[in-house]
Structure 1
C-alpha cells in the first residue's frame, strides 16, 4: 500500500514550501539550495521536475545524487523522529520537510546543510 503523499505531484507542494520559507523572511533561492543539497538536482533538473508533473516517488527516485550527509538529519517532525522512519521514501520526504522547517525557523544555513564535520558510526 502506498501513501497518498507518495503520489502527490511535487509541483503542487513546491509553492507551499516556497510560501512557508518566504513567510519567515527566507528566499526561494535558499529553499532551492536545500533541495539541490538533499537530492543532487540543479536548477534545470528542479525546473524539469516541476514541469513534468512527477510525483514525490518519482522526484526522489530520479534524484541525481542523494547527499550522503542527509543521514545526519535527525529530530522530530510531525511527532515522528525522522531518523527512525522505516519506509525509505517517507524518510526522504521527511528529510526535506525537516530541512524546510529548519530554514523557516532561522537555523544557520551551514547547520541546515550539515557542513560541519561529523562522525557517523554504524
Structure 2
C-alpha cells in the first residue's frame, strides 16, 4: 500500500496513550509479558517505563514521542510488512518509526526470540 500525506498526518496526531494499551493486550493475549513489551520499546526508543508513563499521562502524540526518542542505531534493520505497508519503502520518517514499533510488538506477540527482535 502507498502511504499518503493524510495517513502520515493521522499517525503524527495519534497519541501514544491511545495505542499502548492495545500493545499490552496484544502481547499478553499471546502469552508474553508487559515487561517484555517494555524491553522492546526501550530498545527501540531508549525510554524507561517511567518515561513511557509520562507520555501516557500527558497524552503525547507519536510526533512528540519520537522527537524525544533516541532511536536505536540498529532500528534500520527492522524490515518487512506491517499493517499492509513495507517498512523499508515508507519515506516519511515519523511513520516509518511508528511502523518500526508496530513491527517489534507484532514480532513479540508472534513469539519471535528476543535476540532476533532486538537485532543485536
Q: TM-score, normalised by structure 1?
A: 0.89
2:67 is the alignment partner of 1:77: no
Structure 2, unaligned runs of 5 or more? none
The separation in 1 between residues aligned to 2:62 and 2:84, in whole angstroms, is 21
Q: Is the aligned partner of 1:62 residue 2:68?
A: yes
In the TM superposition, structure 1's runs of 4+ consecutive aligned residues that sit over 4 Å from their partners are: none
Bigger relative CO (Cα 8 Å, ≥ 6 apart): 2
- 1:45 equivalenced with 2:48 (yes/no): no
Determine whether 1:88 maps to 2:101. Answer: no
Write the distance in 1 (CA, Å) between the matches of 2:12 and 2:87: 16
Q: TM-score, normalised by structure 2?
A: 0.90
Q: Distance in 2 between matches of 1:84 and 1:97?
A: 15
Which has the larger helix fraction? 2
- Count of residues paired in the alignment: 114
Shift of 1:46: 1.2
